[in-house]
Amino acid sequence: MEIFPAIDLKEGYAVRLSKGDMNSAKIYSKNPSDEAKKFEDFGAKWLHIVDLDGAFAGRSINYKVIEEIVKSTNLKIQVGGGIRDEKAIKFYENLGVDRFILGSTALNDPELTKQLAKIYKIAVGIDAKNGFVAAHGWAKQSKVLAFDLAAIYKDSEVDAIICTDINKDGMLGGMNFDFTKEIALKSGKKTIASGGVSSIDDIVKAKQIDEIYGVIVGKAYYEGKINLEKAFKLS
């Protein structure tokens, strides 16, 4: 199982939110590339980056920081937040990003998403609140059920699904394993769980569930609740 340390970017800093609320942003590092290097030293192969400003603006905002991270590490990098079209994907591809996360576009235009997945390594981000998909930086809630959206991509060339239970995100209250497992079964894709990791016990439990391909670790690391070096030895 893959562990994905997370860096959420707001105004160039590494921050974490609670339940996706931008007003709850807490700065953890003013040098995100230093954090990325630490993750690499711990044993990470992948890094999960979200451009929070980009998610709201619908375009890349923190790209200079992302470029710096790409240049200063050998990590594989997946990026989400504001990627709405092929132009944005090409932009990030030129920066050296490996996988591109489509959230709002995956919800609003599944056909475009499927076409892009034939050319690029696409991850579909399914962020759900009370079972329904939220988009545009989680500011808008749709009437589409998360499980229905996952099923749309079952026969596509999408590389992975990243699913977040928004109510769990940044709350350090434990993961929603049943939600992740169901998303994996409905989509038939490699599924990465996000939101709620509270301790190394969550990593141990996730590792025992065949349907979970990866886990994103954010606030639990920044708040000192999880020793990532130990976690990587487990995974």
Active site residue: 41, 53, 98, 127, which one? 127
> Does residue 127 have an active-site annotation?
yes
Residue 42, token pair as written in the block? 């711990």
Q: How far apart are CA 107 and CA 124, in angstroms?
A: 9
Active site residue: 8, 53, 169, 202, which one? 8
CA atoms within 13 A on the CB side of 8: 26
Residue 127, token pair as written in the block? 């962020």
Contact status, residue 4 vs residue 229, Cβ threshold 8 Å? no
Neighbours of 185 (CB within 10 A): 14
> Does residue 8 have an active-site annotation?
yes
3-state secondary structure 34-98: HHHHHHHHHCCCEEEEEEHHHHHHCCCCCHHHHHHHHHHCCCEEEEECCCCCHHHHHHHHHHCCC
Catalytic residues: 8, 127
